[in-house]
Amino acid sequence: MRIAIPLENGRLASHFGHCAEFTLIDVVPDTKTIVCTENVLSPPHQPGLLPSWLKQHGATVIIAGGMGSRAQSLFNDNGIEVLIGAPSENPNVLAQAYLDGTLTTGANICDH
């Protein structure tokens, strides 16, 4: 399983579509362990590009602060689970909370 998290200053970015980079975290769900973390630069902003780009990078889950409904639909079409309303936190902390079933999500902070 690979979790994608948009970054801003080393923490979850509030709006994934304009972040400069993503952390891609490889995890083993059965043992709830993080096995590899990689930061990759985002491609230039283009509406609708990130879901297929992250799928090409092996993402199966995205944890975001806010995301528009079209983007959510595109991620779902690409077989990527979407979690929105996550707090601005260190990506490894978010990934571990997801694995442990303790990730707290709130309201979608994106209104488009």
CATH code linked to domain 12-100? 3.30.420.130
**Distance separating alpha carbons of residues 75 and 59, to the nearest angstrom:** 10
Which whole-number Å values give the CA distances from 77 to 30, 33, 71, in the listed order?
25, 27, 10
Which whole-number Å values give the CA distances from 54 to 30, 50, 59, 107, in the listed order?
23, 6, 5, 23
Which whole-number Å values give the CA distances from 103 to 45, 70, 100, in the listed order?
28, 24, 8
Note down pLDDT in tens along the chain; length 112 residues. Answer: 999 999 999 999 877 777 889 999 999 999 999 999 999 999 987 888 999 999 999 999 999 998 888 889 999 999 999 999 999 999 999 999 999 999 999 877 665 5
Q: Both tokens of residue 42?
A: 């985002």
Q: Both tokens of residue 21?
A: 């980079």
Q: What ranges do the domains of the chain cover?
A: 12-100
